[in-house]
Amino acid sequence: MRSSDALARPPEWPARDPARYRSAIVFVTAIGALCVAAGIGFVAVGLASALGYALLLGVLFFLTAAYGLVTKVRRAPRPDDVAITEYEGRPATEIRYSGPAFLVLGALVGCLAALCTLAAVDFATAGDEVPAAPVAAVLCGLGAGFFLSFFVFVAIGRLSRGRLVLAPQGIHQRGRAFTSFLPWEAFAGVKAADNGTPEALVIAYANAPWDRRQLGGVWKLDKLPPVPMIEIDTTNFAVDPVVLYHLVRFYVENPEARAELGTETSLQRVRTAAFG
pLDDT for res 74: 62
pLDDT for res 6: 73
Q: Which amino acid is residue 157, in one-letter code? A: G
Cβ burial of 177 (10 Å; 0-12, 13-18, 19+) is buried
The pLDDT tens digits for 146-194 are: 999 999 999 999 999 999 999 999 999 999 999 999 999 999 999 999 9
Ranges of residues in the chain whose predicted pLDDT is under 50: 3
Please state, in angstroms and as integers, the Cα–Cα distance from residue 154 to each residue in 66, 102, 119, 224, following that order: 21, 11, 25, 19
116: enclosing H helix or E strand? helix 99-124
- Asked whether the beta carbons of 223 and 235 are under 8 A apart, the reply is no
The number of beta carbons lying within 10 Å of the beta carbon of residue 23 is: 11
Q: Name the pTM for this structure.
A: 0.89
Give the start-end residues of each E strand in the chain: 82-87, 90-96, 163-166, 170-174, 178-183, 187-194, 198-204, 211-214, 229-233
